Structure formats: structure tokens, C-alpha cells
Structure 1
């Protein structure tokens, strides 16, 4: 398959995708404009696990092809607790643990993508910057824990 977009051509050649909705239009867009893509991680551990590598590599290729990644670190939503397992109460981490985890995850990400102010540099944002101001986290911690999302 011949693709115009360097990014889609790279992903296709490496077997990163099998099918795509309206590949022709996406290829046209990505060959003409800077496209922005996003991924988010809650800061529940000091590092990321192997399951996140594919998404990170896709952002790396996106950036290398001149597009702009956005990475959201969920240091605010992490304050609610980790819903892993779903059969127990959420484990609530201390603010210092969340801060340490956030720094650890950022270090991992910076090994793969360039963060900064350049045109295709990744924009790294922290959701605590706006969630803390809303008192939303306190609400979810105190009230939300009484409700199941299952």
C-alpha cells in the first residue's frame, strides 16, 4: 500500500495497524497538516509497564514525522485512587507518592519523546493543575468512593 503520509507509511510498514476508517482522508490530512495526538497516564506507579510501550512508540513516530503529541499525566485523577481489581476500595496514594510517580513517568516518557515548546515537541500537561482548583478530587474521594462504576 502506498501512503503519502510518512507517519502512516511508517506505522503500516511496521505492522502497527490492520485497518483504518477512511484511510485515504487520514493520509491526505497527515501528509498536509500537523496532526495532534493525545495519550494520558494516571500516576499510580513510579514507571510505566510494557503495555504502554506501543502507544508511546506511536507518539514517538508521530513526533519524528513532524506532528505534535500531547501527554497528559493524571497526577490529579490519581488522587482519587487506583481502581485496579475493582473488588476492593481504591488504594489512595499520598501526595508525595503521586509526585514521585509523576516524576518517574515523566523520566520514562522523555527517553522516547521530546517535550518542550517546539512545533512538534510534545506538550506535557498535568491534570492536577486544573482539577485541584475545582475541588473535584476532594468530591470524588469523599463522595464518589461510595459508588461503583461497574
Structure 2
């Protein structure tokens, strides 16, 4: 069954990179998993570029896996630097809430909310806004090196073009990593 899932992904052109295809195959062969994709709430609806990610979640669900739709209520407060030439506009809490509400409507059209593998909505605002900054730096900051972070495209391109990158945006990838840790610890999410 797993081989069909991976094959379907490849046939549809959904695969660009895979860190460890052998381990992914083993993981999918051994059990049904929970997986997530995150969507920041920067606009009242998603753009067409998000459709591929939604279809990936749908395909996994059709093969019996449980999709988690992670709404980035917390990360939206920071702003994803990827593909941007300047800092995103800081949105108010009211704007983020309104956008979150609009975005949620999209998923019922593509994902099933019935059965043992019904999709789940989570919002990273729930845990990110409760972080104690000093404890966060001490517990998690030590696992990230500036050297490595500077090699990521979202950072490297902005610096190569001599475009400013705020400290706020620079932290975005750490918050993404923390999201996965939270999802793994509290929701048994593995992908």
C-alpha cells in the first residue's frame, strides 16, 4: 500500500526532495501516521500555490493516514521571510483571527472530517504565545547554529541581495521546528 502512495506522489510530481526515502518507506509500511502542513494566516484565503500542499494531505488521507492542518496563528505574528524581499506587514490579532476563519473554510472541500483518520485543525498560537522566552532560548536555542541558519534560502537570498532581515523573521525557522516538536509530543505527528 505504501509503495502505491509514494508512486502516486512521484507520478503527480509532488516529490521534489526527500531527506530519507528509505526511512519514509519504512515508516509508511509499518503504520498509519499523522502528518501536518502549516499555513500562515496572512490573508483571508489561501492562494492557488497552497493547492499542491492540500492535495498532498488529501492523498495521504486517502491512503488511511491522518492529516493535521496547522494554522499559523502564532507564526503569522512573526512573518515568514521565505520568498520576500522585505519584512511582511505585522498583522493585528483581529486580522489574524479573521484570516484564520477564512482559511479554515477551504479544507472541508478537500479533506474528510469523518472516520478514524478525519483531519484535525490545530493553531500554533496555542503554544507559541505561551513560551517563556528565556527558557525557550536555553532549552531550544542551543540546538540551532547561526552558521547553519545562514545557509537556508529564506535567509541567504535576502542577505545576498543586501535586503534587511529582521531578528523577528530570523526566528521564524526556530518556531517552525518547535511546531514539529509540539505536534510530535502532543499529537504523535511524525511527518
What TM-score range do you get, normalising by the shorter chain? 0.7 to 0.9
1:119 — aligned with what? 116
2:131 — aligned with what? 134
> 5 Å matches for 1:5-84?
5-17=3-15, 20=18, 23=21, 25-81=23-79, 83=81
Q: CA deviation at 1:135?
A: 6.4
Question: If the length of structure 1 is used for normalisation, what is the TM-score?
Answer: 0.72
Q: CA deviation at 1:23?
A: 4.1
Q: Would the alpha carbon gap of residues 74 and 35 (structure 1) be closer, same or farther in structure 2, given more than 3 Å must change? A: same
Question: If the length of structure 2 is used for normalisation, what is the TM-score?
Answer: 0.59
- Aligned CA RMSD, in angstroms, stands at 3.1
Q: Would the alpha carbon gap of residues 98 and 13 (structure 1) be closer, same or farther in structure 2, given more than 3 Å must change? A: same
Aligned residue pairs total 138
> 5 Å matches for 1:72-111?
72-81=70-79, 83=81, 85-88=84-87, 90-111=88-109
Cα-to-partner distance string for 1:66-87 (whole Å, 9 max, x where unaligned): 0111221111222235657443
Q: Would the alpha carbon gap of residues 18 and 127 (structure 1) be closer, same or farther in structure 2, given more than 3 Å must change? A: closer
**Structure 1 gaps, min length 5:** 137-144
**Structure 2 gaps, min length 5:** 134-164, 171-191
Q: Would the alpha carbon gap of residues 39 and 4 (structure 1) be closer, same or farther in structure 2, given more than 3 Å must change? A: closer
Q: Which moved more, 1:15-24 or 1:43-52?
A: 15-24
Q: CA deviation at 1:48?
A: 1.0
Runs of 4+ in structure 1 displaced over 6 angstroms? none
